[in-house]
Amino acid sequence: MTDPAEDVVLSVENLSIDFRLRTHILHAVENVSFELKRGQTLCLVGESGSGKSVTARSLLQIVDRPGSIVGGRILLRNGGAVTDIARLDPDGQAMRAIRGRRIGLIFQEPMSSLSPVHTIGSQIIEAVRLHSDLDKRAARAKTVELLRQVEIPNPDQMADRYTFEFSGGMRQRAMIAMALAGNPDILIADEPTTALDVTTQAEILDLIKRLQVERGMAMLLITHDMGIVAEVADNVAVMRFGRIVERGPVDAIYHDAQHPYTRQLLASTVKLTRHVEGRVSAVAASAPPQQPILSVRHLGKTFGWHGKTSSLRAVDDANFDLYPGENLGIVGESGSGKTTLGRLILRTVEPTTGSVVYRNKDGSEVDVTSLTKKELRSFH
């Protein structure tokens, strides 16, 4: 067994950060303490403006002006050696050696760290070479390997593409590859998935979690999503008004939160779940069974281009019933066909396959798909 204290790679002790503004001093972070352990994830949660990002940025000495660390220590451990990051010169060599090599950073907006005028590969190669003495060839090989690890398909070709040719999710993957270029043992992820659609969010989160476990990195993950916390956290720290109001193992926080603010945070998540459960049971209990007002069967649309053999299946075999008084939510990532589905139902876009049946109050049915242009106008 190893001593658990050996697993602590970074300890923040009584950290305070002020912003000296013209009119007053803003105490953005006050007396914050936490530890990051090898192979574990600490989730930092809390409302907007509570000081999460400022805390995270201070670990790399990149707090924006006029902010500065006014108290406390940030102890980075390396075997027996300990460095207090709070004492280092932000522009000095010692701090530069820590950024990327000991501590990697991923944040919300990939465009702010990716250049639009260089290929994705050349940017990662540059990061690899900054942190190692690999020659160009070896750095390129490592870059392709990193792109493979973040699950970019055909990494060898994709390395030569530009940022604008990457989708939002792929940009985030490229940024993760860049953060890993120096093999850091600590990873900071500040709201890494908030700019992405739900499906991509889940994929990127899985990827980050998997890489963290595989590489045994200590991770500080900032989020305001308690669902994400439940999935990835080992420990949780809750911030409010610049202070940590509660921290502990994830189970303890979920089952026995002490601070009213933590309970409030959890309650807002639980309410959403209850709302859905309540509605499902209400629907199940409602008798007598009603006829759907709208029945969609095998609805599909294929867009073809003149003179080209390729075509795009925008909607493929959509089937659902909509009941009177029901609220049906259609969700899906960008380009998945939501808008086209709506237009097919109204026939402002002509379906390639399937039928749409509308039921009048008297039970009579209108086959929307076989209406003439004129009938369709009055039906609308």
Ligand X SMILES: Nc1ncnc2c1ncn2[C@@H]1O[C@H](COP(=O)(O)OP(=O)(O)OP(=O)(O)O)[C@@H](O)[C@H]1O
Q: Which of 7, 8, 13, 19 binds ligand X (CB under 6 A)?
A: 19
The interface with ligand X within residues 200-239 (CB under 6 A) comprises 224
**What CA–CA distances, in Å, run from 107 to 6, 128, 209?**
28, 19, 15
Give start and end residues of each alpha helix (H) in 24-84.
Answer: 52-58
53 binds ligand X (CB under 6 A): yes
Residue 261 contacts which entry, Mg ion, ligand X, none (Cβ below 5-8 A, type-dependent): none
Q: Which of 41, 53, 200, 340 binds Mg ion (CB under 5 A)?
A: 53
Residue 70 contacts which entry, ligand X, Mg ion, none (Cβ below 5-8 A, type-dependent): none
State how far the Cα of 356 lies from the Cα of 295, in Å rounded to an integer. 6
Name the one range near ligand X by CB under 6 A: 51-59, 195-203, 204-212, 353-361.
51-59
* 161 touches 137 (CB < 8 A): no
Name the one range near Mg ion by CB under 5 A: 16-24, 49-57, 260-268, 305-313.
49-57
Name the one range near Mg ion by CB under 5 A: 48-56, 112-120, 180-188, 352-360.
48-56
Q: Are strands 353-359 and 365-367 parallel, antiparallel or unpaired?
A: antiparallel
Q: Are strands 218-222 and 186-190 parallel, antiparallel or unpaired?
A: parallel
State how far the Cα of 63 lies from the Cα of 58, in Å rounded to an integer. 5
Residue 100 contacts which entry, ligand X, Mg ion, none (Cβ below 5-8 A, type-dependent): none
Q: Which of 32, 35, 37, 52 binds ligand X (CB under 6 A)?
A: 52
195 binds ligand X (CB under 6 A): no
Q: Which is nearer to ligand X, 7 or 47 (CB)?
A: 47
58 binds Mg ion (CB under 5 A): no
Selection from 361, 360, 344 nearest residue 352 by Cα: 344
Q: Which of 3, 24, 64, 305 binds ligand X (CB under 6 A)?
A: 64
State how far the Cα of 348 lies from the Cα of 271, in Å rounded to an integer. 38
**What CA–CA distances, in Å, run from 225 to 69, 164, 194, 219, 315?**
28, 28, 9, 16, 31
Selection from 150, 153, 193 nearest residue 173 by Cα: 150
Number of residues forming the site for ligand X (CB under 6 A)? 14
Shortest distance (Å) from residue 362 CB to ligand X: 53
Interacting residues toward Mg ion by CB under 5 A: 53
